[in-house]
Amino acid sequence: MSYIFLQYPKCSTCKKAQNWLNWNKVSYESRHIVDETPSIDELTTWIEKSGLPVEKFFNSNGIVYKNMGLKDKLPEMSKEEKIDLLSTNGMLIKRPIFVSDNLVLIGFKEADWKKILEL
Protein backbone atom coordinates (compact mmCIF):
# COMPACT_ATOMS: atom_id res chain seq x y z
CA MET A 1 0.00 0.00 0.00
CA SER A 2 1.29 3.47 -0.80
CA TYR A 3 1.03 6.40 1.56
CA ILE A 4 1.31 10.14 1.01
CA PHE A 5 2.25 12.42 3.88
CA LEU A 6 1.45 16.06 3.10
CA GLN A 7 3.25 18.45 5.39
CA TYR A 8 4.79 21.86 5.86
CA PRO A 9 8.37 21.41 7.14
CA LYS A 10 8.23 24.35 9.60
CA CYS A 11 5.00 23.08 11.20
CA SER A 12 5.60 21.58 14.66
CA THR A 13 2.56 19.29 14.37
CA CYS A 14 3.86 18.00 11.04
CA LYS A 15 7.22 17.28 12.64
CA LYS A 16 5.52 15.31 15.44
CA ALA A 17 3.52 13.31 12.91
CA GLN A 18 6.60 12.62 10.80
CA ASN A 19 8.55 11.48 13.85
CA TRP A 20 5.65 9.20 14.76
CA LEU A 21 5.59 7.70 11.23
CA ASN A 22 9.35 7.14 11.29
CA TRP A 23 9.28 5.66 14.81
CA ASN A 24 6.58 3.21 13.69
CA LYS A 25 8.49 2.40 10.50
CA VAL A 26 5.68 3.53 8.18
CA SER A 27 7.06 4.17 4.71
CA TYR A 28 5.51 7.09 2.86
CA GLU A 29 6.03 9.65 0.15
CA SER A 30 6.52 13.07 1.72
CA ARG A 31 4.98 16.03 -0.09
CA HIS A 32 5.41 19.74 0.71
CA ILE A 33 1.84 21.04 0.96
CA VAL A 34 2.77 24.54 -0.25
CA ASP A 35 5.20 23.65 -3.05
CA GLU A 36 2.86 20.92 -4.30
CA THR A 37 -0.58 22.15 -3.27
CA PRO A 38 -3.23 19.45 -3.72
CA SER A 39 -5.37 19.73 -6.84
CA ILE A 40 -9.14 20.13 -6.91
CA ASP A 41 -9.46 16.45 -7.91
CA GLU A 42 -7.21 15.27 -5.08
CA LEU A 43 -9.01 17.38 -2.50
CA THR A 44 -12.43 16.26 -3.72
CA THR A 45 -11.39 12.60 -3.49
CA TRP A 46 -9.83 13.00 -0.05
CA ILE A 47 -12.80 14.92 1.35
CA GLU A 48 -15.19 12.23 0.14
CA LYS A 49 -12.94 9.43 1.42
CA SER A 50 -12.51 11.08 4.83
CA GLY A 51 -16.24 11.44 5.43
CA LEU A 52 -15.55 14.87 6.93
CA PRO A 53 -17.10 18.18 5.89
CA VAL A 54 -14.89 20.30 3.65
CA GLU A 55 -14.59 22.91 6.41
CA LYS A 56 -12.43 20.48 8.42
CA PHE A 57 -9.78 20.74 5.69
CA PHE A 58 -9.25 24.45 6.34
CA ASN A 59 -6.36 25.60 8.54
CA SER A 60 -8.64 27.85 10.58
CA ASN A 61 -5.76 28.85 12.90
CA GLY A 62 -3.59 30.00 10.00
CA ILE A 63 -2.64 33.55 9.13
CA VAL A 64 -3.85 33.27 5.51
CA TYR A 65 -7.26 32.00 6.68
CA LYS A 66 -7.60 34.86 9.14
CA ASN A 67 -6.32 37.54 6.75
CA MET A 68 -8.86 36.44 4.14
CA GLY A 69 -11.69 36.64 6.67
CA LEU A 70 -12.77 33.09 5.82
CA LYS A 71 -14.60 32.54 9.09
CA ASP A 72 -17.31 34.83 7.77
CA LYS A 73 -17.02 33.94 4.07
CA LEU A 74 -17.08 30.12 4.18
CA PRO A 75 -20.74 29.78 5.25
CA GLU A 76 -21.77 31.62 2.09
CA MET A 77 -19.66 29.47 -0.24
CA SER A 78 -20.61 26.23 -1.98
CA LYS A 79 -18.65 23.04 -1.39
CA GLU A 80 -17.11 23.38 -4.88
CA GLU A 81 -16.03 26.97 -4.19
CA LYS A 82 -14.42 25.90 -0.90
CA ILE A 83 -12.48 23.09 -2.59
CA ASP A 84 -11.40 25.43 -5.38
CA LEU A 85 -10.15 27.92 -2.77
CA LEU A 86 -8.22 25.22 -0.88
CA SER A 87 -6.47 24.23 -4.12
CA THR A 88 -5.07 27.75 -4.56
CA ASN A 89 -2.89 27.91 -1.45
CA GLY A 90 -1.40 25.08 0.61
CA MET A 91 -1.30 27.35 3.67
CA LEU A 92 -5.11 27.27 3.74
CA ILE A 93 -5.10 23.50 4.22
CA LYS A 94 -5.02 21.91 7.66
CA ARG A 95 -1.95 19.79 8.06
CA PRO A 96 -0.53 17.27 8.15
CA ILE A 97 -2.62 15.08 5.89
CA PHE A 98 -1.96 11.36 5.62
CA VAL A 99 -3.54 9.57 2.66
CA SER A 100 -3.74 5.89 1.78
CA ASP A 101 -6.07 3.92 -0.47
CA ASN A 102 -8.71 3.70 2.24
CA LEU A 103 -7.81 6.32 4.84
CA VAL A 104 -7.46 10.10 5.07
CA LEU A 105 -6.22 11.65 8.32
CA ILE A 106 -6.11 15.40 8.92
CA GLY A 107 -4.09 16.96 11.71
CA PHE A 108 -2.18 14.76 14.13
CA LYS A 109 -3.84 12.87 16.93
CA GLU A 110 -1.78 9.83 17.81
CA ALA A 111 -4.82 7.74 18.74
CA ASP A 112 -6.32 8.30 15.28
CA TRP A 113 -3.02 7.71 13.53
CA LYS A 114 -2.68 4.28 15.12
CA LYS A 115 -5.26 3.19 12.51
CA ILE A 116 -2.40 3.36 10.00
CA LEU A 117 -0.67 0.48 11.74
CA GLU A 118 -3.81 -1.64 11.42
CA LEU A 119 -4.04 -1.28 7.62
| Tens digits of residue pLDDT in 41-87 | 999 999 999 999 999 999 999 999 999 999 999 999 999 999 999 99
| Tens digits of residue pLDDT in 5-23 | 999 999 999 999 999 999 9
Domains and CATH numbers, the chain: 4-118 (3.40.30.10)
pTM beyond 0.85: yes
Distance between CA 9 and CA 90 in Å, rounded?
Answer: 12
If one counts every other C-beta atom within 10 angstroms of the C-beta of residue 29, the result is: 10
Distance between CA 94 and CA 98 in Å, rounded?
Answer: 11
pLDDT score, position 115:
83
Cβ contacts of 103 within 8 Å, gap of 6 or more: 49, 115, 116, 119
pLDDT score, position 119:
62
